[in-house]
Amino acid sequence: MAGRPGRPRRRPDSLLGDKDYDSNPHREELRKRRILPVISRKGASNIKSLGKLRYVVEQTFTLLHQFKRLVVRWERRTELHDAFVSLACGLICWRRLKKHRS
């Protein structure tokens, strides 16, 4: 009997989360799926490395939201939206390289 078409699904080894996700049901669900939860506890100090990783994600969203067309998705077809995201990423990289060279 053949399996499902496409690539096999891959699960992450661990999942980073902030204090908003600090609950036993979240942790149990992740452990049930064999994913290590790395979630700050409410009332405890923050995980230092988590902030560094979150900054990269937040910065990426900020850079992409400079392109107003990507803030709200207007295209019905996902291929067009993906193309605009790729174009935006290319422009962001080109601008950074251009700034770095001068």
For residues 47 and 66, state if they share a domain.
no
Q: Does residue 90 register a pLDDT over 90?
A: yes
Domain that holds residue 72: 62-102
* Domain assignment present for 5: no
Residue owning tokens 């174009």: 87
pLDDT of residue 46: 60
Residue 35 clears pLDDT 70, i.e. is over it? yes
97, two tokens: 């390289």
pLDDT above 60: residue 1? no
Q: Other C-beta atoms within 10 Å of 17: how many?
A: 19
Closest CA to 51 of 94, 16, 98: 16
In a domain, 20, yes or no: yes
Please, what is the average pLDDT of the chain? 82
Whether residue 1 is contained in a domain is answered as no
Is residue 30 one of the residues assigned to a domain?
yes
- Verify that 66 and 47 share a domain, yes or no: no
pLDDT of res. 94:
92
Q: Report helix, strand or coil for 39.
A: strand
Same domain membership, residue 20 and residue 44: yes
Q: Answer yes or no: is pLDDT of 28 > 90.
A: yes
Using CA atoms, how far apart are residues 87 and 80, in angstroms rounded to an integer? 10
SS3 content of the chain, % helix, strand, coil (to 5): 55, 10, 35
Dump pLDDT digits (tens) for 41-83: 777 666 666 666 667 777 888 888 888 888 777 778 888 888 9
Instruction: List the structure tokens of 7.
Output: 């690539």
Domains in the chain, number: 2
If asked whether residues 67 and 43 sit together in one domain, one would say no
